[in-house]
Amino acid sequence: MRRYKVAITTAADGSATAYTPRLSGKIHSIQYVKTDFANGVGFTVTSEATGESIWAEAAVNASAVRYPRAPTHTQAGAAALFAAGGTAVQDKIGLGNDRVKIVVAAGGNAKSGTVHVLVD
């Protein structure tokens, strides 16, 4: 596992955009460590190259850990299911020589927090 730690400080309007270094592997988890971001902060975490969603959540009030997964598909493009009409099969999100883009909204004026991205 590799950990990419991104310290983020918001602008006066409560927004910020930050990036990990380029990385390759499967996203194991996203860990938000609250310093003093305002309650209700929102996160939109995506792949920089494709915009693939990794984590999107509004109204976060405390430190949080998320284990993002994406639905998988058959070779025909149909959703892969555990059983006919069942639950979707999900897998870790893979990145290849890409950066994780972290967008913060409603974080408060000049407030800070840290996002850790664990990659397998």
Domain boundaries, the chain: 2-70+88-119
Per-residue pLDDT tens listing for the chain (120 residues): 999 999 999 999 999 999 999 999 999 999 999 999 999 999 999 999 999 999 999 999 999 999 999 999 999 999 999 887 789 999 999 999 999 999 999 999 999 999 999 999
Tokens (6 digits) for 73: 């598909």
Domain 2-70+88-119 classification at class level: mainly beta
* Among the listed residues 1, 39, 14, the one whose alpha carbon sits nearest the alpha carbon of residue 110: 14
81-to-27, 28, 94, 102 alpha-carbon distances in Å: 22, 22, 20, 30
What is the rounded CA–CA span in Å between residue 18 and residue 94? 19
CA triplet 54, 90, 5: central angle to 5 degrees? 30
Which residue do the tokens 């310290």 mark? 7
Tokens (6 digits) for 26: 């499967």
What is the rounded CA–CA span in Å between residue 8 and residue 16? 7
